[in-house]
Amino acid sequence: MATRVANDKGKQRAGVTTPPPTPQAAAAAAKRGRLCDIIIGGKYRILSPIGSGSFGELYSAENVEDGDDKVAVKLESSSVKYPQLPREAKIYNILRGGLGFPKLRYFGTEGIYNVLVVDLLGPSLEDLLNFCARNFSLKTTLMLGLQILARVEYLHMNCLLHRDIKPENFLMGLGEERARVFMIDFGLAKRYYRPRTCTHITYNERHELVGTARYASVRAHYAEQGRRDDLESVGYLLMYFLRGRLPWQGISADTRRQKYEKIAESKSTLPLNVLCSGIPTEFYMYMKYCRSLHFEEQPDYAYLRQLFQVLFKAQRFLHDCLYDWVDIKQETADEFQQRLIDEEEQQQRKAKYERRLSRRRHIDVPR
């Protein structure tokens, strides 16, 4: 501390001053200060910003009664014309109990904000791709792909489409769930089927793109999306994991609309065998199947899973959840430590049982 003060004084003597914060930085700091004063749902205090989703800002927060209980908080202004968080909270409730979906902890209005509180998760698959030098191994890609397919299938089982499949919307869990993939951000999700009336949404080709152009299906650029489009996006996502980029990345144009049109043209004109060249045939078969589906057709999820499961076994991979980013030495140390804890707990249970048995014998001895 003394050195820092001396340095600061030296800078002042030399005429060097620290530049004042920009108006944007000052406003952000003031906003964080105000947010930290709010106890959300009488239980959660905001800590720091995480980022932003398709709608709203994301913050980490903690339970004021249990500092170890960390959550994620999504905020949007309660005065927006078309609020999205009430709808997203409803979707989280529909998906409640599904494996690989964060639990909804709270939804309500706090001051000038609509507030959504869910489980705090780990890094996104985009973050991990960057950590792994911009590509995943085939083993990691397949382990992730099987989980992502399961999430999409569960979403579709509940009559919902995601419509924004991208690596930022899949996060790894924390702690005991660090090997599990979670699907998040349902701001663009849509109901495709209504069980009460047994009606499916109708197909039309008067639609602008909904979602992220890089991973959107060919038809998503101009038409209503269905289950097939989510699945096609998953295919692009997996190829992106293997290669670190897709052929239409880097396309430039004068306007966003023109750029999207060029991306759509690239996707539709590039033959599938060229798109899938240099990677296992199963990815070509996956993409060919997804593009062949009719708008209202029920996808064969079991067939798609089997494609990757058979490939996984053919490569003699072990489903050990050791992804490319896992520190094997640390994971082995953690497993050893957990084994010691389990053995200690087992010994404690055994000792407790023997003490109970000893007391019972003492009581049963005739006097």
Span 252-276, average pLDDT: 95
Residue 106 in contact with residue 86, Cβ under 8 Å?
Answer: no
Residue 185 in contact with residue 116, Cβ under 8 Å?
Answer: no
Q: Dig out the tokens for 354 from the structure.
A: 């023997």
pLDDT band of residue 5 (cuts 50, 70, 90) is very low
164 belongs to the catalytic site: yes
Q: Dig out the tokens for 336 from the structure.
A: 């050893």
Closest CA to 114 of 155, 85, 144: 85
CA 42 to chain CA centroid, nearest Å = 27
Structure confidence by residue, pLDDT tens digits, 113-170: 999 999 999 999 999 999 999 999 999 999 999 999 999 999 999 999 999 999 999 9
Binding residues: 74
Residue 296 in contact with residue 226, Cβ under 8 Å?
Answer: yes
pLDDT band of residue 12 (cuts 50, 70, 90) is very low
Co-location of 288 and 142 in the same domain: yes
Question: What does the pLDDT read at residue 336?
Answer: 53
**Is the confidence at residue 189, as pLDDT, over 60?**
yes
Question: What does the pLDDT read at residue 206?
Answer: 85
This model's pTM is above 0.75: yes
Closest CA to 236 of 290, 156, 303: 290
Question: What does the pLDDT read at residue 357?
Answer: 58
Percent of residues, the chain, with pLDDT higher than 70: 79
Binding residues for ATP: 74
Q: Which residue out of 164, 229, 230, 324 is catalytically annotated?
A: 164
**Is the confidence at residue 306, as pLDDT, over 90?**
yes
Q: Dig out the tokens for 347 from the structure.
A: 């010994």
Asked if the structure places residue 102 within a domain, the reply is yes
Co-location of 55 and 89 in the same domain: yes
Asked if the structure places residue 179 within a domain, the reply is yes
Residue 47 φ/ψ, nearest 5 degrees: -105, -60
Structure confidence by residue, pLDDT tens digits, 51-66: 765 567 899 999 998 8
User: Which residue is it, tokens 């004084």?
Assistant: 9
Domain that residue 281 falls in: 125-314
Summary mean pLDDT of the chain = 86
Q: Dig out the tokens for 149 from the structure.
A: 């397919």
Co-location of 114 and 129 in the same domain: no
Highest mean pLDDT among 16-20, 265-269, 349-353: 265-269
Q: Compute the distance between CA of residue 180 and CA of residue 160 in angstroms, rounded to an integer.
A: 21
Co-location of 102 and 226 in the same domain: no
Question: What does the pLDDT read at residue 363?
Answer: 44
Q: Compute the distance between CA of residue 331 and CA of residue 333 in angstroms, rounded to an integer.
A: 5
CA distances from 43 to 61, 63, 71, 96 (A): 10, 6, 11, 21
Co-location of 116 and 134 in the same domain: no
Structure confidence by residue, pLDDT tens digits, 23-59: 555 555 555 556 767 889 889 999 999 876 556 789 9
Co-location of 141 and 281 in the same domain: yes
Co-location of 219 and 75 in the same domain: no
What is the amino acid identity at position 115? V
**Higher-pLDDT residue of 337, 214:** 214
Put residue 208 in one of left, alpha, beta given phi > 0 → left and psi -120 to 50 → alpha: beta
pLDDT band of residue 10 (cuts 50, 70, 90) is very low
Asked if the structure places residue 145 within a domain, the reply is yes
**Is the confidence at residue 210, as pLDDT, over 80?**
yes
Structure confidence by residue, pLDDT tens digits, 308-324: 999 999 999 999 999 99
Give the chain's domain count.
2
Co-location of 75 and 224 in the same domain: no
Structure confidence by residue, pLDDT tens digits, 88-121: 999 999 999 999 999 999 999 998 899 999 999 9
Question: What does the pLDDT read at residue 67?
Answer: 82
Domain CATH for 270: 1.10.510.10
Co-location of 149 and 97 in the same domain: no
Co-location of 231 and 150 in the same domain: yes
Q: Compute the distance between CA of residue 70 and CA of residue 322 in angstroms, rounded to an integer.
A: 25
